[in-house]
Structure 1
Amino acid sequence: MELPPQDGQAYETVEPASGPGRKERGRADLRRTAERYLSEPAEGVTTRHAFSFAGHYDPRNTSFGALLACNEETLAPGAGYEAHRHSETEIVTWVLSGALAHRDDAGHAGVLRPGTVQVQSTGSGVTHTERNVGGAAEPVRFVQMWLQPDAYGAAPGLGLRTVPDGEGLHLLASGRDADADRAPRLRRGDAALWLVRAPAWMPLPDLPAAPFRYAHVVAGSVGYRTVPGPQGGGRSAGPGDSVRITGDAFADPTAGPDGVELLLWEMHTPVRYG
């Protein structure tokens, strides 16, 4: 898994309404899972990419906010990624089903299962492997997200948090000092990742506000209005779908008939260059 290209526009901008002094409009940009670029980087491995990645490059789709990648990965029994190196990237992994074996040259090794988030700060450089756990009869499915850090050159680090069952808003990772005792630390001070769960037909809990928010549905479905008020169009997102949100878009989100579980990035600045 190589770093995605870093050329071109880094993020979707918030479009201002016409006329002087008018409030900027938000946008809820729905991307269906079938629209993702599909690749097979190794035998038994399939990946759907939300952004430009490795050999796939779209200059109009390189990142959103500080998020560089959001990949849906499936590793067949016996399959996985051989040793490869990363640096200066926050790699966050959430397993949907099965078990993912991780090992790196910084001394970390373990098996990641549903309900536990892993945050790997690659820092000055780390080599790791990711494989379907040995002896598995079923594929492992997981979402892996890459975030640009704002601190560089530090030694690699790894954090884990197991999330309790139940509805609500659960903090998975954060770069804020105030959250240091609640979740693994991100090396980006103005970003946080949340897990959101809601039962059938119920409104989602109050979501954190931010200039850039990225919602990725992992189970169930969510309905919402594109912007607040009667002018907002109704939309629905299902498993694998994502919504890139700016401003006050993504209004009145409500779980569908099977409830919903989604990952939500809260980001207050976009990718920085130079």
Structure 2
Amino acid sequence: MDVRRARERYRGGDPAAGIETRHAFSFGPHYDPDNLRFGAVIACNEERLAPGAGFDEHPHRHTEIVTWVVEGELTHRDSTGRETVVRPGDVQRLSAASGVRHVERNAGERPLTFLQMWLAPLEPGGDPHYEVVRAVTDSTPYALPEAGATLHVRRMAAGERTAVPDAAYVYVHVVRGEVLLAGEELGPGDAARLTDAKDVEAVAATAPAELLLWEMAAR
């Protein structure tokens, strides 16, 4: 298990424009050849947007982009013609495939915090695809077969336990609260990368605790 603390993330974004970003992996000008990916995950960015701030239209290719809103509302528009508002508890997925362009903004009056995770597809190409699954529950895994991955959401009361999937790769991100993962204390923004996970448990030390777990097959 490789633990990465929130304070160790690369700082990015444009604070003067109301954009603050924390990168968990090598990203843009923050190049780290030893931290390019884990399993299918190639980026895990914590984004904080002030009201009115956002990312102007920009392109993506050959990437599965999954977004989880922590607080506030994210307004999304893309070249497939979709325009949606994503709220806490929703899973947004944009499959860039052969190419897509999109805009992401905080059109609300409150600060916006969201987590955006990029996964490498098993095969490049195809047609862009977009969807939002509203109010994802703990008992409903979100499958991403294009990347050989499944997202699990865990919300726990203090003292509650949850099993970590047995898998070749598991990426665990703490959204809120504090948890014990295989005896290691993790707080908000901390992450753990598990290889060949088996019989691993997470225990909530405080409530509410919220975890995102990517279960990934060997590639």
Alignment TM-score, normalising by the size of structure 2: 0.94
Looking at structure 1, the residues matched to 199 and 155 of structure 2 have their Cα atoms a distance apart, in angstroms, of: 16
Does 1:159 find its partner at 2:131? yes
Match of 2:13 in 1: 40
- State the aligned residue count: 218
Describe how 1:185-196 pairs up with structure 2 within 5 A. Answer: 187-188=146-147, 190-196=148-154
Does 1:257 find its partner at 2:206? yes
Q: Aligned Cα RMSD in Å?
A: 1.6
Deviations 1:161-192 (A, max 9, x none): 12356xx44313331xxxxxxxxxxx22x211
Describe how 1:11-160 pairs up with structure 2 within 5 A. Answer: 28-41=1-14, 43-133=17-107, 136-160=108-132
Answer yes or no: is the 8 Å Cα contact 2:11–2:22 preserved in 1.
yes
Structure 2: stretches of 5+ with no match in the other structure: none
Looking at structure 2, the residues matched to 80 and 139 of structure 1 have their Cα atoms a distance apart, in angstroms, of: 11
Match of 2:180 in 1: 223
Match of 1:21 in 2: none
What amino acid is the match of 2:125? G
What amino acid is the match of 1:236? E
In the TM superposition, what is the alpha-carbon distance from 1:247 to its structure 2 partner? 1.8
Secondary structure of 2:140's match?
strand
Looking at structure 1, the residues matched to 164 and 139 of structure 2 have their Cα atoms a distance apart, in angstroms, of: 8
Answer yes or no: is the 8 Å Cα contact 1:87–1:124 preserved in 2.
yes
Match of 1:244 in 2: 193
Structure 1: stretches of 5+ with no match in the other structure: 1-27, 176-186, 226-233
- CA shift in 2, pair 1:156/1:248, >3 Å: closer
Deviation larger for 140-149 or 216-225: 216-225
**Identity %, equivalent residues:** 45
- CA shift in 2, pair 1:138/1:29, >3 Å: same
Alignment TM-score, normalising by the size of structure 1: 0.76
Q: Relative to total residues, which structure has the larger strand share, 1 or 2? A: 2
Runs of 4+ in 1 over 2 A off after TM superposition: 248-252
Instruction: Give the structure with higher Rg (CA).
Output: 1
